Amino acid sequence: MPLDGDPRMLELEELRSLCAAETERFFRHQDSDARYCYEVFRRAIVAHDQSAWECIYTQYQALVLSWIHRHGLSTVLSEEPGYLANRAFERLWVGVSSNKFANFPDLKSILRYLQMCVNAVLVDAARSRTRASLVEDEALERSASHSSEQRSMEDSVLRKTQAEQLWSLLEERCKDYKERCILVGMFVNALKARQLYAEYPGLFQDIQEVYRVKENLLARLQRDQELAAYLERL
Amino acid sequence: MGNNTMDNIERKLRATLYRAFCPDSTELGEYHLGLLSTDRRRELRAHLAECPHCTNELEALRSFMDSVSADLAPNPQKGQESETLLKRLVARLLPSSFPGTGWSPALAGVRGEVGSMLSFNAEGYHLVIDIQQDADRPDRRSIMGLLTGAEPTSAPLIARLYQASSLAAQSQVDELGNFAIHRVAPGEYSLRLSNIEIEIDIEQLIIA
Ligand SMILES: [Zn+2]
């Protein structure tokens, strides 16, 4: 095993084949040297070498796909695995940019981040779907499967701002801790009354009380002119 | 304004607020990997205490990462990776923690009442656990921990609270050795602080 050659001195072609060979050794449980693959990542990320990117994609695409297939959410989502793999690589490029590369001292830490990105892409697809079905918004349902990363970022910034404004209006109108729990439980976390009752053991006497506090709160909010005007604009 | 029926209000509140304060999934992942700043980590910890969705996602992330961890490349230092041995330490309660005479940890387990401060030793490590009433949930407890001593380990430690061998809650130990686990229901637990190199166990911890 060529442990002594400095990977930084090697041509990309040479690195590519050493990275492939060492990866193979790793999966055969033989001693392997991760420095060549790490150097490919370094060139792609720090030196912005497009060929190194392509090399990474070729080397790791199958592994990323295998992670997608082994993820519990992959069976419930309809997105193409290839599409999800591309999104995961995109997140890696953003998350491990050249100014953050120092946080990733070895290949293991980069691949761990890539595994995390696979999870994040699947979780986001699942989140969008849940959200779309909750708000019964067809446009959202469509964007859940086809939106670009950029578009969904813009959506989420706008949603966050609206939510923060609405939340501060609501918080001012809460009479007590129970009402706040109703707001958090029913609207932020979308729990059913039964789940909410279980989530805050001892807070409500019974499920009827959960309904009662909620009805009273909503009735009061409904009579509130300022809030009504805000909700109309949403 | 006629549009603001009770149902409509409910629908609008849910559409606007549903998970609006959740961190995005990449950030939640970076939290798990210990890549966030101390301030942001603290904010996420507070969010997790109130969000069952993110708590579930974090737990699912942890088990996914566990399930694919064997695919990770070894560390660059040759030979070291295959011989890395997990060092397992069992933390012992220090006598100064016993609240009064006649206390028998061997029989009763280590019992933490609200306000109690428990000190443990595990070889070079010293662990202090402070049980407090949870700030958001009066019926629950917060476990505040501080781990000191020994040399720093290469990967962040995770404090995990188990009940009848299933995971009840977890939290990352920060660079200064602090960790906090919130919203713990009274009951019998074991607490484990671990990373790939080391595991420190409190085998029985009763939260009163
Ligand atoms: Zn959340």
- Cross-chain residue pair B19–A188, CB shorter than 8 Å: yes
Decide yes or no: CATH 3.40.30 for domain B86-98+108-207: no
Q: Which pLDDT score, from 0 to 100, does residue B198 have?
A: 77
Q: What percent of chain A has pLDDT over 70?
A: 90
CA separation, residue A1 to residues A13, A24, A42, B203 (Å): 18, 13, 21, 44
8 A C-beta contact, residue A79 and residue A113: no
Residue B63 pLDDT class (50, 70, 90 cuts): very high
Q: Which pLDDT score, from 0 to 100, does residue B106 have?
A: 37
Average pLDDT of chain B to the nearest whole number: 80
Which chain A residues are Cβ-neighbours of B1 within 8 angstroms? 228-229, 232
ipTM: 0.86
- Cross-chain residue pair B13–A160, CB shorter than 8 Å: no
pLDDT tens track for A41-65: 999 999 999 999 999 999 999 899 9
In sequence order, what are the residues at sequence separation of 6 or more whose Cβ sits closer than 8 angstroms to the Cβ of residue A100?
none
Residue B124 pLDDT class (50, 70, 90 cuts): confident
Would you give the DSSP letter of residue B191? Answer: E
Q: What percent of chain B has pLDDT over 70?
A: 78
pLDDT tens track for B125-179: 889 999 998 887 788 899 999 998 877 666 677 788 887 766 677 777 888 889 9
- Give the residue ranges of DSSP H helices in chain A: 12-27, 35-45, 50-70, 81-95, 107-135, 138-146, 149-173, 177-182, 193-199, 207-223, 225-233
Which residue in the set B18, B26, B78 is minimally distant from A120, CB to CB?
B26
Going from N- to C-terminal start, the domains of chain B cover 2-69, 86-98+108-207
Q: Of B171, B184, B181, B180, which Cα lies nearest the Cα of B138?
A: B184
When mean pLDDT is compared across A79-83, A124-128, B29-33, B163-167, the lowest value belongs to B163-167
Position A74 pLDDT exceeds 60: yes
Going from N- to C-terminal start, the domains of chain A cover 7-157, 173-234
Which chain A residues are Cβ-neighbours of B78 within 8 angstroms? 1, 3, 31, 33
When mean pLDDT is compared across A5-9, A183-187, B20-24, B32-36, the lowest value belongs to A5-9
Would you give the DSSP letter of residue B71? Answer: G
Tokens representing B176 are 């200064």
Position A73 pLDDT exceeds 80: yes
A154 touches chain B (CB under 8 A): no
pTM for this predicted structure = 0.65
Q: Of A66, A69, A56, which Cα lies nearest the Cα of A20?
A: A56
- Cross-chain residue pair B73–A120, CB shorter than 8 Å: no
Position B21 pLDDT exceeds 70: yes
Residue B62 host element (H or E): helix B52-68
Distance of CA A10 to the CA centre of its chain: 36
